Amino acid sequence: MVTVEKLTKKLHTRLVATDKNLPQKLQQHLGGSMSDLINRAERFARVRHEGQFRKGKAKEPYTNHLVEVAALVERWSGSESAIAAAWLHDTVEDCPPTSVTELESLFGKDVADIVAELTDDKSLPKADRKKLQIINAAKKSKEACLVKLADKTSNIGAIANSPPEDWTLDRRLKYIGWANSVVGQLPYLPKDGLSEFLKRCDQAELNAYDDLGSVLSLIHI
């Protein structure tokens, strides 16, 4: 198993630029091989997430995140159910009244079970939910591991390229560290998936310090 310590060491020894055009490239790749199940999951997710935007300063439509997560799962040889679950992974958590029961009735038990594995209990405080993500990561199925890794990879890319405007350097670095803690506990990590995650962590960390340097230089002008 890849340990958090090993992940952190790689973070500070490797620096590879993130491909900012990855979502568009992967969407084109995904478009040529989508099954009926995946198509239906995409349509459902787009409707349920309509009007939602990412927290970053670019204010991208939230569906851009889903496009990337689903495409990464496919690139890492995820099953049809895993790719469908990638589209749906935030619907129960962020799109009430969506439920696991509804997803099972529409997309089958396999897809619904993966989404259930990935859904936080939003009745709990945010700090508790974040701790539970680390604790529960080790129990994830292979399919849920792929979606979780893709989700964290996409989120880290967003932190690198379009972080929320009110996030301080400390908050950005803490998010990177927490994401490493979650990923480090996953029992299944494809090599190319882990490599992509680490590349984006490197870039997110570098960009955070670069942004701080830019702010400090303006203060001293």
What CATH code is carried by the domain that includes residue 9? 1.10.3210.10
| pLDDT value of position 212 | 73
Total of domains in the chain: 1
> What's the residue count for the chain?
221
What's the confidence (pLDDT) of residue 132? 98
- Tell me the catalytic residues: 93-94
Task: Indicate the DSSP class of residue 32.
Answer: T
Q: Is 61 helix (H, G, I), strand (E, B) or coil?
A: strand
Using pLDDT thresholds of 50, 70 and 90, give the confidence band for residue 214. low
- The answer on pLDDT for 16 being more than 60 is no
Residue 213 is predicted with a pLDDT of 66
**Looking at the predicted structure, is the pLDDT value of residue 120 above 50?**
yes
Q: Give me the pLDDT at residue 211, please.
A: 85
| pLDDT for the residue numbered 133 | 98
> What gap in Å lies between CA 54 and CA 117, rounded to an integer?
22
Domain assignment of residue 84, given as a range: 4-219
Whether the pLDDT of residue 11 is over 90: the answer is no
Question: CB count, 10 Å around CB of 55?
Answer: 17
C-alpha 202/C-alpha 205 separation (Å) is: 5
Indicate whether 219 pLDDT > 60.
no
- Answer positive or negative: Cα dihedral of 56, 58, 59, 63: negative
